């Protein structure tokens, strides 16, 4: 797969998250990327946790390397808010469409669906359906009771055996069922 990663030691991905290539993730010790389990990621995802720090006379890091044999001063020590807004957290059971960009400091809640071509600059609630530039929630996948139940259930943390034994749950259309109906299915 064609995945371009800078700072792979700062990328943490849960089990069984699948992605279509290519993906570009830029991270460092200043801002890590955490991706949950059982996600589906479209092609051309870009996660940018670092930016140019414009508080210095030159924004270009190569000037500092060429003339002073030093990294850009914004890259030294703790990063400024212009350089990074912090870690990126992507929950479990998240679907991200093609050509999405995710900026630093963003948390994408469990079960969120993000439409193709979106630019995510702010947090997205669990089980929301979001799209746009900038990306914002359009609606929820389920009613509040179901969202609360699923967040407590955390099925993505189940063992493989427990997932297999709950086929009826995974084959259910949750939009047409109540929480008590779903609870009765789970073993």
3-state secondary structure of 176: helix
Task: Clarify whether 148 is annotated catalytic.
Answer: no
Dist. CA 113–CA 120, nearest whole Å: 12
From the list 52, 72, 89, 110, the catalytic residue is 52
What span, in angstroms and rounded, lies between the C-alpha atoms of 42 and 95?
8
Whole-number Å distance between alpha carbons of 15 and 155: 12
Distances (CA, A) of 63 to 26, 77, 84: 20, 19, 20
The whole-angstrom separation of Cα 44 and Cα 36 is 19
Structure token pair of residue 90: 């992507």
Tell me the two tokens of residue 164. 């297999």
What amino acid positions are annotated as catalytic residues?
52
């Amino acid at each position: 797969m064609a995945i371009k990663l800078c700072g792979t030691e700062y990328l943490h991905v849960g089990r069984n998250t699948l992605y279509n290539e290519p993906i570009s993730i830029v991270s460092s010790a200043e801002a890590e990327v955490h991706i949950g389990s059982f996600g589906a990621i479209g092609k051309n995802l870009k996660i940018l946790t670092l930016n140019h720090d414009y508080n210095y006379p030159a924004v270009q890091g190569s000037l500092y390397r060429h003339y002073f044999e030093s990294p850009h001063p914004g890259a030294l020590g703790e990063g400024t808010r212009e350089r990074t807004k912090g870690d990126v957290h992507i929950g479990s059971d998240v679907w991200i469409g093609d050509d999405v960009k995710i900026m630093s400091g963003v948390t994408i809640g469990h079960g969120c669906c993000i439409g193709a071509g979106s630019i995510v600059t702010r947090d997205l609630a669990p089980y929301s359906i979001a799209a746009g530039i900038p990306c914002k929630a359009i609606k929820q996948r389920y009613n509040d009771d179901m969202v609360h139940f699923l967040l407590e259930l955390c099925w993505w943390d189940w063992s493989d055996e427990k997932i297999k034994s709950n086929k009826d749950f995974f084959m259910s259309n949750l939009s047409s069922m109540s929480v008590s109906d779903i609870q009765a299915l789970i073993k």
